[in-house]
Structure 1
Amino acid sequence: MGSCGIFSVNVKERDVIAAALPVQDHWLPMSNLDLLLPPLDVGVFFCYKRSLPQEESVNMIKKSLAQALAPYYPLAGEIVQNNYGEPELLCNNRGVDFIHARADMELKKIDFYNPDDSVERKLVPLKKRGVLCVQVTELSCGGLVIGCTFDHRVADAYSINMFITAWAEISQSKQIPSLPCFRRSMLNPRRPSILNTFYNTLFVPLSSLPPPRSYSPYNPLISHIYYIEANDINLLQSNSSSNGNPNKSKLVSFIAFLWKIIAECDDGFNTCKIGVVVDGRERLNKVNFDKLSLSNTNSFLMQNYFGNVLSIPYGEANSEELKELPLSGVADMVHKFVSPIMTEEHFRGLIDWVELQRPEPAVARIYTKMEENDGEAVVVSSGQRFPVENIDFGWGKPHFGSYHFPWGGQTGYVMPMPSTKKNGDWIVYMHMLQKHLDLVETKGKKVFKPLTPSYLDF
């Protein structure tokens, strides 16, 4: 590919960036939906072919970060445990660890197809403390990479997008369009909470998990990044909506196609599972403002809420059935297990379910293996709102950006995002077992194409 993942990164400076405005120390509880997240870190990075003189660019980034942390002050805090052993945010403005680094590498030679070699702990930093860590890496070609690592218990992808977009706008001396909302009462449980055993099928208390099987072989997951051309996405959508079936979304069509691929795995398991991350903001559109007695309610719409508002439904099916069904039939199956989640009642009920479990922590069932013969699983999250085009700090838009989430479990993770080409293509980050990636590159090779510098026009 004419690219390389083998290069070293040298740290020029380490700093701690605090919010530009003083913050009164206070506690911010996690919402019940935050409590469903284990302590995982999520990475994201943006690549620029050119910037200002690099020291000037770094100083602009540091200054605007301090300013952005004023409205997004929880990101400058730290997570501690309360008396019940649950995580809470201590908003004490301890600051964000900031790394200024340099790599003797040109952007056009970096192998983004293999981010485990080229991105992990090189361009996206390892977060050792706090909620957020930022690294700015100068490249020998004059390019620049901005990498961030967040604690997932504090923010989902929607929230991360909000913050990074605001940070870039502040760097250009623009007014951010809306302030983030941290009002946890928007996600309070009902009184009394309503018990619905349906949630036992989607989430499980940690105490119910079987003990780790030390004798089971551990196969590490591997990260690759692909691109899918717009015409292939459209063809998937057309095929998934055939035979008189209602028109399916591009994402549902993609999920169905991926499900059929991993079902081809001849690994001794009879079933195959796929999960979908669903954002509940559009379902929990507004809170009851009469009870809040607020004059300016626009700032408290769910679209401004910062935190986790996620549920993860999943489907499990016989592998042979998945292989035999047409794509439209599998898309119907995806629609069937996702559609009941797309309601306000689902998210209100999930909040209640967590309340009735507390302080016992719980986790999404798709991430667990309850039985030794449980089939392998993959979770798909939608990054279609990934705001690559908006992350301009003052020297131009990124030429490439992606999430990076090698989370360390045994469940695969897939994130499709829009291409910076703005032509309808997708960039797809995949973190999966090698056997599944092998199928992606054989059974799905006409759709999934390894990401290359030539595609990115570096």
Structure 2
Amino acid sequence: MVKEAITNGRRSHGHGSEVTVMVASTVAPALPVQEHRLPLSNLDLILPPVDVGVFFCYADPGSSHHPSAALKAALAKTLVAYYPLAGEMAANAAGEPELLCSGRGVDFAEAVADGAELRELRLGLPDESVEQLVPKKKDGVMCVQVTKFRCGGVVVGCSFDHRVCDAYSFNMFLVAWAAAARGSSASPGPSFHRSFLAPREPSPTCAGTLADRLFVPVSCAPAPPATAPDAANRIYRVSSADVAALQESAGPGRTKLEAFTALLWQLHARAASMGQRSCCMGVVVDGRTRLRRDGAMKAYFGNVLTIPYGVIGSDDLRGMALADVANDVHRWVTEAATGEHFQELVDWVEAQRPDPTVARAYLGRGSDGEDATACVVSSGMRLPVGEVDFGWGQPAFASYHFPWPGGAGYIMPMPSARGDGDWVVYVHAAPEVVAVMEEEPTVFKALESSYIFG
């Protein structure tokens, strides 16, 4: 079912263009949903109420018609299995967030970019380009915007509530939606079995555990700055050769992500202000294969994340070899990448409820509690760029978009749509960090239109 309304809501100005929403509608699941409540898991509850965006650019879908009709029909079919995305956030009796699976639907905007061609967008500067293409969610769990350009190009942008699912889960949905649009057979449906993340009984002691060191009740967390620091948003490209060279410099046995994180840690140290004697660096770790090595959680839809981190003095970081920094990253990532830690985290959250909690990596604190520059790295290498084909071919470009309001930086590397091993890196960081990254002579390269569209 689709409810439509005609509108002339102009979103914002881009580089030489203005995006205008022409039609706003709500796409409900193709089959009725019996209203019910789905509790969030304990690992959902560690996420703040923030939205994550993702967008896909198609150079030429090959049709003079707006592709929205096919996308909406496929979305309605896909929401039958992925019904939580068509629901709403509510509160339980304890005041905690939970899902109201009501079949409300997904807000769907159809827009046009007046007088612009897709290749004219400066995607490397998302504040002026991407910001107008990824919709702002007002209600519900998810929203979509499809923007058509004068050249025939199309951008499909989505936003979703991070408390409901992580990027792994949303990738499953994207692949299923694209398959439905192509008329392909459906992939196995998602699992919402919260029993995978049930706390142990009786609950073991949580004090002093790794979970207790990585997370803290909001009531015990240090107060954030009175005003959030300004942040710059960028999208860069990194060549496959530079990724390989970075991994080699990090030493034997180090992953590409560990090497990349080590480099970022040192760059943050270079950019640290005089009042920030330490740098805090975190990495998002997925726990599906750690909790269940038999693959039982492969289709689990929700959040299965932890965020280990390390703190090193800025002066020390600047003087360390990259391999030594990568060794430290490897140490604390490996410590958290175990099934025991994820079960321990589930138990720890249970012991705090209903008090909300927060990852310490986001707080920007040094070992002595002083202010520190902070950043979290989240791998987007599973972004299924080649599989998000709605029947028009693969996208020419894709990226997450996460200009979140927190004080810590957020950096996400993803595979380039070219499929040649290059990376696309989304950066949300302090302007001084961005300046240092752009001074780096080899790794972070500007994202030119010619690289994307040839």
If the TM-score is normalised by the length of the shorter chain, which range does it land in? Answer: over 0.9
Q: Which amino acid aligns with 2:103?
A: N
**Larger strand proportion of the pair:** 2
Deviations for 1:342-399, whole angstroms, at most 9, x for unmatched residues? 1100100000000000001101011124687321101000011110100000111100
Q: Label 1:278 to 1:250 Cα distance change in 2 as closer, same or farther (>3 A).
A: same
- 1:71 match: 81
Deviations for 1:20-40, whole angstroms, at most 9, x for unmatched residues? 011111110000000001100
1:406-425 mapped onto 2 (5 Å cutoff): 406-425=403-422
- Please say if residues 272 and 373 of structure 2, whose CA atoms lie closer than 8 Å, have aligned partners that are also in contact: no
Distance 1:271 1:395 in 2: 48
1:178 to 182, 188, 202: 188
Measure how far apart 1:7 and its partner are: 2.2
Q: Which amino acid aligns with 2:257?
A: L
- 1:219 match: 229
Q: Which amino acid aligns with 2:398?
A: G
Tell me if 1:331 matches 2:321: no
- 2:9 match: none
Distance 2:452 2:293 in 1: 40
> Which secondary structure state, in structure 2, belongs to the residue aligned with residue 117 of structure 1?
coil
Measure how far apart 1:265 and its partner are: 1.9
Tell me if 1:400 matches 2:420: no
Deviations for 1:45-84, whole angstroms, at most 9, x for unmatched residues? 0000111435352110010000000000010000000110
Q: Label 1:106 to 1:248 Cα distance change in 2 as closer, same or farther (>3 A).
A: same
- Please say if residues 168 and 390 of structure 1, whose CA atoms lie closer than 8 Å, have aligned partners that are also in contact: yes
1:247 to 253, 256, 266: 253
- 2:29 match: 19
Measure how far apart 1:176 and its partner are: 2.1
- 1:440 match: 437
2:446 to 423, 447, 450: 450
Deviations for 1:110-169, whole angstroms, at most 9, x for unmatched residues? 01011011111x100000000000000011100000000000000100011000011000
> Which secondary structure state, in structure 2, belongs to the residue aligned with residue 51 of structure 1?
coil
> Which secondary structure state, in structure 2, belongs to the residue aligned with residue 302 of structure 1?
coil
- 2:130 match: 119
Distance 1:240 1:423 in 2: 22
Distance 2:64 2:283 in 1: 40
Distance 2:236 2:197 in 1: 36
- What is the total number of aligned residue pairs between the two structures? 435
- Please say if residues 5 and 114 of structure 1, whose CA atoms lie closer than 8 Å, have aligned partners that are also in contact: no
Measure how far apart 1:92 and its partner are: 0.6
- Please say if residues 209 and 370 of structure 1, whose CA atoms lie closer than 8 Å, have aligned partners that are also in contact: no
Deviations for 1:288-339, whole angstroms, at most 9, x for unmatched residues? xxxxxxxxxx8xx201000000000001001111111111111001001110
1:370-385 mapped onto 2 (5 Å cutoff): 373-385=370-382
Distance 1:277 1:140 in 2: 39
Q: Label 1:370 to 1:319 Cα distance change in 2 as closer, same or farther (>3 A).
A: closer
Deviations for 1:72-105, whole angstroms, at most 9, x for unmatched residues? 0010000000110100100010011000000021
Percent identity, aligned pairs only, is 49
1:311 to 302, 306, 329: 306
Q: CA RMSD of the aligned region, Å? A: 1.5
Higher relative contact order (CA 8 A, sep 6+): 1
Distance 1:77 1:326 in 2: 49
- 1:292 match: none
1:258-277 mapped onto 2 (5 Å cutoff): 258-268=264-274, 269-277=276-284
- Please say if residues 146 and 155 of structure 2, whose CA atoms lie closer than 8 Å, have aligned partners that are also in contact: yes
**Structure 1 runs not aligned, ≥5 long:** 288-297
Distance 1:456 1:145 in 2: 14
Q: Label 1:349 to 1:266 Cα distance change in 2 as closer, same or farther (>3 A).
A: closer
Distance 2:15 2:385 in 1: 23
- 1:294 match: none
> Which secondary structure state, in structure 2, belongs to the residue aligned with residue 147 of structure 1?
strand
User: TM-score, normalized by length of structure 2?
Assistant: 0.93
Distance 1:54 1:368 in 2: 49
- 1:291 match: none
Q: Which amino acid aligns with 2:304?
A: V
2:67 to 51, 57, 61: 57
Deviations for 1:184-223, whole angstroms, at most 9, x for unmatched residues? 1111001112223222221110111234443xx6421111
Q: Which amino acid aligns with 1:393?
A: F
2:221 to 192, 204, 209: 209
Distance 2:119 2:344 in 1: 49
